[in-house]
């Protein structure tokens, strides 16, 4: 299939060619085959030329996709109040993974200052040098912001991850006539192609009814994201044990519980690519210049957290979480009679909460140690679906 997408600049095309050569060398060094997870890792994170480690703009009107914080400051303002409830039970600090342009951090820090929510430290773990530079510029007015290269060994407070899990490399598996196969990447006639090999059965344990799925069923499994949840649990548990104060992680992403993730109609999986606000299914198109994502299996993420010592706090739609956390009140802080100011905010709230937009596709998973959300969140909780 020939994709009709915007042409990259000559510099961008050169960077993509460099990355393609790097990936091809990796394949050659591994007997002509690498896992898709390894391909995705290189495409997104190879030093200097990967999508997130290179220099191209990722977010906003000049990038490839738009996230909730870029749509409206009301998202971060509302999240600040939910985080404030959890920090009051733990410690006045936030750790954000993959902070994008820094817009979410800016909105949270601004709202915390305005609303008197104690926030002594805001740490960011960011792999992209280009995005870290943008964050440092955006957040220059907040001395409590620091940048980290990795997880701290122990942490008490609130961890935030907005569209972080979907950017973690996934393994692809496909059901063959007699066994499950892992779909990896080879080179054929100078082009990347999919190639299947017998599968490590450990990958299949994530799929609830693997035996009941039809031959040819293709899906993603998420061992790297599950590993992230394991490390997150270790960090929050260590914080609780060392300081006597717990913490919570608020993870916001698009995805499904396992009972919906592996439905028959998702026979081709959920893998998707984003380039200049165009969505398409080809992960081999201009490696390094496009985002590659997969929907999140929230059952697997919750299980990884609980298995490693955290408590299940809540799971709900983004609409349920934001509305319960006071998004409507944040909107009404602007008088509806002021049409020029109110209508853009109302339209943004519609996009964040409508079932036809982000409201139902995006979910919020909250796991933690020794903390709880206020009782009003119980009405929106859908943990039973996990």
pLDDT above 60 (res 232) = yes
Q: What is the DSSP secondary structure assignment for residue 376, as one 8-state letter?
A: G
Taking the C-alpha atoms of residue 134 and residue 6, their distance in angstroms, rounded to an integer, is 25
What average pLDDT score do residues 37-49 get?
95
End-to-end CA distance of the chain: 37
User: What's the rounded mean pLDDT across residues 201-208?
Assistant: 91
At residue 61, the pLDDT reads: 47
What percent of the chain clears pLDDT 90, i.e. is strictly above it?
88
pTM across the whole model: 0.94
> Is a pLDDT exceeding 90 seen at residue 8?
no
Cα of 374 vs its chain's centroid, Å = 25
Does the pLDDT value for residue 62 go beyond 70?
no
SS (H, E, C) 23-77: HHHHHHHCCCCEEHHHHHHHHHHCCCCCCCCCCCCCECCCCCECCHHHHCHHHHH
Domain 40-168+223-385: top CATH class: alpha beta
For residue 277, is pLDDT > 90? no
55 pLDDT higher than 70 = no
How far apart CA 110 and CA 294 sit, in angstroms, is 32
């Amino acid at each position: 299939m020939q994709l009709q997408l915007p042409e990259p600049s000559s510099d961008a095309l050169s960077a993509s060619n460099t990355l393609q050569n790097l990936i091809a060398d990796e394949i050659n060094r591994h007997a002509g085959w690498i896992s898709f997870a390894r391909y995705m890792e290189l495409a997104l994170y190879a030093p200097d030329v990967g999508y997130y480690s290179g220099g191209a703009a990722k977010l906003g009107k000049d990038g490839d996709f738009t996230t909730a914080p870029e749509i409206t400051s009301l998202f971060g303002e509302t999240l600040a109040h939910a985080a404030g409830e959890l920090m009051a039970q733990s410690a006045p600090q936030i750790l954000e993974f993959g902070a994008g342009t820094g817009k979410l951090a800016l909105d949270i820090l601004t709202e915390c200052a305005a609303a008197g929510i104690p926030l002594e430290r805001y740490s960011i773990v960011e792999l992209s040098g280009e995005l870290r530079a943008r964050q440092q510029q955006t957040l220059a007015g907040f001395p409590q912001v620091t940048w980290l290269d990795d997880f701290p060994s122990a942490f008490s407070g609130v961890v935030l991850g907005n569209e972080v899990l979907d950017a973690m490399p996934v393994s692809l598996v496909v059901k063959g006539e007699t066994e499950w196969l892992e779909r990896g990447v080879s080179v054929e006639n100078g082009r990347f192609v999919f190639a299947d090999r017998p599968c490590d059965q450990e990958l299949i344990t994530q799929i609830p009814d693997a035996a009941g799925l039809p031959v040819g069923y293709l899906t993603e499994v998420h061992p790297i994201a599950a590993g992230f949840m394991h490390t997150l649990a270790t960090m929050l548990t260590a914080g609780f044990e060392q300081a006597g104060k717990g913490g919570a992680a608020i993870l916001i992403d698009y995805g499904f519980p396992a009972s919906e993730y592996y439905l028959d109609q998702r026979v081709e999986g959920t893998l998707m690519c984003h380039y200049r606000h165009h969505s398409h299914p080809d992960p081999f198109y201009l490696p390094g210049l496009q985002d590659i994502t997969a929907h999140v299996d929230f059952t697997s993420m919750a299980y990884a957290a609980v298995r490693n010592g955290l408590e299940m706090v809540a799971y709900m739609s983004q609409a349920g979480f934001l509305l319960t956390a006071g998004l409507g009140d944040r909107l009404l802080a602007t008088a509806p009679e002021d049409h020029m100011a109110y209508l853009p905010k109302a339209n943004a709230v519609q996009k964040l909460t409508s079932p036809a937009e982000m409201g139902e596709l995006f979910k919020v998973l909250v796991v933690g140690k020794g903390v709880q959300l206020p009782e009003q969140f119980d009405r929106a909780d859908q943990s039973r679906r996990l």
